[in-house]
C-alpha cells in the first residue's frame, strides 16, 4: 500500500494500523443499540439498556495491543470497532461459526475501504463500560464519569466541491 509521502502514511494505512492494534468487532442484532453506540450515549446503552446489550451485542477483540490491555483493564482503555449487523440467530451459533461470520464482515469492510478511508471509520468503544467486563460498571454512577465515557467527537459535515 503506497504512503502519501515517504514520511506520512495514508488514511487507509492509519486505519489498518489502528485496527491491528486496537480493533474490536461489535456484532449487534438491534439497530437501536447501534444507534446509541454511534451517538456515544454510553449511559443509556450500557446502563439503561444493559439487558439488551447482553442479549443483542457481542464484542470480539481483534487488536493485539488491545488484547494485552484487556488482561488488566485500566480506566480509559478504548477499542476501535467495526460494527457488524447480525440477526438474532447469530447468538445461537457456536464460536467458530460466529467468528467465521465476523471474519467475512471485517473482510468486506476493508475491501470496501478506499485510500481515503481513515481511522474515523472505526467506532470508539470504552471496554470497561461493557456490562460484565469490569466490576466498576455494576454501579450506575460509573457511566457518568466523562473521563471514561467521553461525549463523542464532533465532525464537520462534508463540504461539496
Residue 102 lies in a domain: yes
Q: Are the C-beta atoms of residues 114 and 16 closer than 8 Å to each other?
A: no
Question: Which pLDDT value is given to residue 157?
Answer: 42
Q: Quick one: cell of 91?
A: 447468538
Residue 73 falls within a domain, yes or no? Answer: yes
| Angle, CA 109 vertex, CA 103 and CA 113 arms, to 5° | 145
148 within domain boundaries: no
**Distance separating alpha carbons of residues 36 and 38, to the nearest angstrom:** 6
* 3, part of any domain: no
Convert the pLDDT of each residue in 66-105 to its tens digit.
999 888 888 889 999 999 999 999 999 999 999 999 999 9
Cell numbers found for residue 10: 495514508
CA distance 161 to 83: 30
Asked if the structure places residue 155 within a domain, the reply is no
Question: What are the residues whose beta carbons fall under 8 Å from the beta carbon of 21, sequence distance 6 or more?
Answer: 63, 64, 65, 66
Is a pLDDT exceeding 90 seen at residue 123? yes
Q: What is the pLDDT of residue 159?
A: 39
123 versus 8: the higher-pLDDT residue is 123
Q: Which of 134, 34, 126, 28 is nearest to 85 (CA)?
A: 28
- Output the pLDDT for position 26: 98
Report if residue 158 sits inside a domain. no
- The pLDDT tens digits of the residues spanning 13-58 come to 999 999 999 999 999 999 999 999 999 999 999 999 999 999 999 9
User: DSSP state, 5?
Assistant: B
Residue 6 domain flag: no
Question: What is the residue range of 46's domain?
Answer: 11-141
pLDDT digits (tens, 9 = 90+) for 130-159: 999 999 999 999 999 888 888 876 554 443
**Tally of domains in the chain:** 1
Percent of the chain clearing pLDDT 90 (strictly above): 74
Would you say residue 4 lies in a domain? no
pTM, full prediction: 0.87
Amino acid at each position: 500500500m503506497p504512503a502519501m509521502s515517504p514520511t506520512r502514511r495514508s488514511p487507509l494505512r492509519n486505519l489498518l494500523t489502528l485496527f491491528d492494534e486496537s480493533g474490536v468487532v461489535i456484532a449487534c442484532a438491534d439497530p437501536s443499540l447501534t444507534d446509541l453506540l454511534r451517538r456515544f450515549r454510553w449511559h443509556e446503552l450500557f446502563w439503561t439498556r444493559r439487558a439488551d446489550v447482553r442479549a443483542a451485542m457481542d464484542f470480539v477483540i481483534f487488536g493485539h495491543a488491545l488484547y494485552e490491555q484487556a488482561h488488566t483493564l485500566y480506566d480509559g482503555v478504548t477499542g476501535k470497532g467495526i460494527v457488524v449487523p447480525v440477526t438474532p440467530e447469530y447468538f445461537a451459533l457456536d464460536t467458530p461459526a460466529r467468528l467465521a461470520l465476523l471474519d467475512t464482515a471485517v473482510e468486506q469492510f476493508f475491501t470496501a475501504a478506499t485510500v481515503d478511508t481513515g481511522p474515523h471509520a472505526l467506532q470508539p468503544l470504552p471496554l470497561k463500560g461493557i456490562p460484565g467486563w469490569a466490576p466498576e460498571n455494576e454501579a450506575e454512577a460509573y457511566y457518568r464519569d466523562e473521563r471514561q465515557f467521553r461525549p463523542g467527537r464532533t465532525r464537520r459535515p462534508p463540504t461539496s466541491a
